[in-house]
Structure 1
Amino acid sequence: MNSPKIIKSSTEKTIVVPLLVVATILAGMLSPMQSAVNGQVGKQLGDGNASAVVSFGSGLVVMAIIILARQSTRRQFASIPKKIVSHRIPWWNWIAGCCGAMVVFSEGASASILGVATFQTTLISGMVISGLMCDRLGIGVPVKQPFNFPRILGAVLAIVATVLVVLPSWQAPKVIALAILPFLAGLLAGWQPAGNSAVAQETGSMLVSITWNFIVGFGILGAALLVRILMGQLTFNLPSAWWMYLGGPLGLLSIALMALLVRGLGLLLLGLASTAGQLIGSVLIDWLIPQLGNEVYFVTILGALVALIGAGIAMIPSANKHVAVDELENHQV
């Protein structure tokens, strides 16, 4: 006979989990909102590099305020130079911010032309393939995961999704070339969480890791922009509208919400719900804001659905493996 406590716990879980899934879907919509903002900044400034500097700069300001407000995080951040010199973690973990720089650069350079739905679908497709490769090589995971049918199928569906969303622009080589940017950014972004996680463990703070991530990205993009300005290739002007500075804060809010929601959902549900939110939000933005000038085609929606299915199929084996590892660690403790 089930005790009232067990029944109550089961009932609460039945009610809470769907609510958390809905919350994660809504949080996932922040990513296409960020892409839309950065895309419009890139359109106004006429340069993806300049747009990325604005986005990283606004995010870095927010993180600097958060870090400087606490003595513990100031101390942890100040320890970074010594930790880099000590080589306790591989050097590439410290430059994971390059991946975020590529993603934000591609947003400014291509999101306004491709449309948010096409941009997000190609980005997610690249991330699915990158995630499978990182799992196979053991990057950021405790156990290497071999390729199997579901994982290969997920990667194939990711490629199919990318082809579908660019089909309406197949006769426009410039658009196809731009679609390569978010796909490559997605491929690079697969190992960024592993690098950020390693830095967080080394410094003892995820906030410090995120701040360092923004510093690396801003430093690389800012240096490139400065060189181009000095060479006379472009002139840089700050965006005129206040909302154009929300790209960085939107990305930070998304990271914070995901960190909170993962505790109640786990990696699998969080990944699926956030991916669904990204794709649903992308289509809605292109559809409900015609001022952006992006048309939503049937194949765009179909490509988004295929990307979601591919991501789901690719995640399932990983989730099972992570569960097994977590259970093993719990028993050892």
Structure 2
Amino acid sequence: MNEQHSSNDKLNTAEKTVVVPLLLIATILAGMLSPMQSAVNGQVGKLLKDGNASAVVSFGSGLVVMAVIILARRSTRQQFASIPRKIAARKIPWWNWVAGCCGAMVVFSEGASASVLGVATFQTTLISGMVISGLLCDRLGIGVPEKQMFNFPRILGALLAILATVLVVLPSWQAPKVVALAVLPFLAGLLAGWQPAGNSAVAQETGSMLVSITWNFIVGFTILGAALLIRVMMGQVTFTLPTAWWMYLGGPLGLLSIALMALLVRGLGLLLLGLASTAGQLIGSVLIDWMIPALGAQVYTVTVLGAVVALIGAGIAMMPSAKKKVAVNDLETH
């Protein structure tokens, strides 16, 4: 009996030795979809000369794809139709229903700044903001069952994230406009920390992550579309749809990334998934700027260094706290 258990353990170990590296590679490749999305939305923003218009195109294309998926199944149609009733019931905090605002900010910042900053700089500042936001959300108990106190590794991760942002904007330090644009993805990253918590709560309430993602797109598209419509009516901007087919890939690329991460997390766990996807985002962004000079972004040594520092900072910040976690309910009663 013991020999059988020993044999099974060896087989499981051998499977993990082969499967886990393959899953890590797959996650890194999936992470590269994010900078691809930034590159597409950045070029749409450059063509339309408006980040708001670019974001509407991206959210619109993603919403069309999700609408087709949701309408194809009776169960998801029913779950989606229950949303107004569930919002009125107020079983979950109202802010969970507007988490799509965060995604809207990220996509808006892509259209407004990615083509000017370069994909590598954009992704590094975005990830740096997300690292800091993640630490704050963990500390406040937003989207997690237990609060995590600040400790040295987590603070170090946040400081490295700030250092990474400084490094990637150094080449443009003499151009205040460019530095100001770098603030957009950093702020978007700060806001993005609570978006997964909101989407997860909506998914639990409706019984479907697909419905949650669709609702996320509807909220983002509504906000961005309303803002664009008002600006068009005021004569501040003229809106024309892009003619190139690939300019509508921003939304689908984001959806594909979400779907792949949902599949890969089962085999890797959150920590390895987070590290591998972050590595994919940073590696992909540097490669895009380097291999596609038509995008107009130059890869500096400090840009690569900033990306590496951001990855290290993210890795340190993602490490589970060695100290005992404090339950959310315990802290809220003191």
Q: Distance in 2 between matches of 1:211 and 1:319?
A: 37
Q: Which residue of 2 aligns with 1:182?
A: 185
**In structure 1, what is the Cα distance between the partners aligned to 2:305 and 2:212?**
37
**Letter paired with 2:177:** K
Taking the aligned partners of 2:115 and 2:322, their CA distance within structure 1 comes to: 34
Quote the Cα distance in structure 2 between the aligned partners of 1:270 and 1:320. 23
| Structure 1 ranges of 4+ moved more than 3 A | 318-322
- 1:40 equivalent in alignment to 2:43: yes
Q: Deviations over 1:50-82 (max 9, x none)?
A: 000000000000000000000000000000001
Match of 1:217 among 215, 220, 226: 220
User: For residues 129-155 of structure 1, what are the alpha-carbon distances to aligned partners after superposition, in whole Å with 9 as ceiling and x for unaligned?
Assistant: 000000000000000111000000000
Tell me how far apart the structure 2 counterparts of residues 126 and 177 of structure 1 sit (CA, whole Å). 15
**Is 1:251 equivalent to 2:254 in the alignment?**
yes
Q: Does the 8 A contact of 1:76 with 1:203 survive in 2? A: yes
Question: In the TM superposition, what is the alpha-carbon distance from 1:6 to its structure 2 partner?
Answer: 1.2
Q: Please list, as runs of the form range in 1=range in 2, the aligned pairs for 1:1-333 lying within 5 A after superposition.
A: 3-317=6-320
What amino acid is aligned across from residue 223 of structure 1 in structure 2? A
Asked if 2 retains the 8 angstrom alpha-carbon contact of 1:96 and 1:195, the reply is yes
The answer to whether the 8 A contact 1:20-1:264 is kept is: yes
Instruction: Kindly tell me the number of residue pairs found equivalent between the two proteins.
Output: 324
Alignment-mate amino acid for residue 213 of structure 1 = N
Residues 1:239 and 1:321: Cα distance change in structure 2 (over 3 Å)? farther
Moved more, 289-298 or 310-319: 310-319
Aligned counterparts of 1:191 and 1:320: Cα–Cα separation in 2: 24
Paired position in structure 1 for 2:331? none
Which one-letter code corresponds to 1:166 in the other structure?
V
State the partner residue of 1:330: none
Shift of 1:12: 0.3
The one-letter code matched in structure 2 to 1:221 is: L
Hey, what's the Cα distance between the residues in 2 that align with 1:318 and 1:79? 39
Q: Do 1:150 and 1:317's aligned partners in 2 also have CA atoms closer than 8 Å?
A: no
TM-score normalized by the length of structure 2:
0.95
2-side partners of 1:247 and 1:319: how far apart? 39
- CA deviations on 1:77-127 (whole Å, 9 max, x unpaired) are 000001001110000000000000000000000000000000000000000
Supply the distance in 2 between the matched residues of 1:138 and 1:61 (Cα, whole angstroms). 34
Cα displacement (A) at 1:4: 1.6
Deviation at 1:3, TM superposition (A): 2.1
State how far apart, in whole Å, the 2-side matches of 1:316 and 1:9 are. 25
Identity of aligned residues (%): 84
**CA distance change for structure 1 residues 127 and 321 in 2, over 3 Å: closer, same or farther?**
farther
Amino acid at match of 1:243: W
Maintained 8 Å contact 1:268/1:319: no
Deviation at 1:240, TM superposition (A): 1.6
CA distance in 1, matches of 2:53, 2:322: 38
Going from structure 1 to structure 2, the CA distance change for 1:193 and 1:319 (only over 3 Å counts) comes to farther
Distance 1:131 1:220, change over 3 A: same
- SS of 1:141's partner is coil
- Aligned in 2, Cα 1:294/1:148: closer, same or farther, shift over 3 Å? same
Asked if the contact 1:29–1:280 (Cα under 8 Å) also holds between the matched residues in 2, the reply is yes
Gaps of 5+ in 2: 328-334
Q: CA deviation at 1:5?
A: 1.4
Question: Which consecutive residues of structure 1, in runs of 5 or more, have no partner in the other structure?
Answer: 326-333
The verdict on how the C-alpha distance between 1:205 and 1:321 changes in structure 2, with shifts beyond 3 A counting, is farther
The CA distance in 2 between the partners of 1:109 and 1:293, in whole Å, is: 15
Output the TM-score relative to the length of structure 1. 0.95
Q: State the Cα distance separating 1:318 from its structure 2 match.
A: 5.7
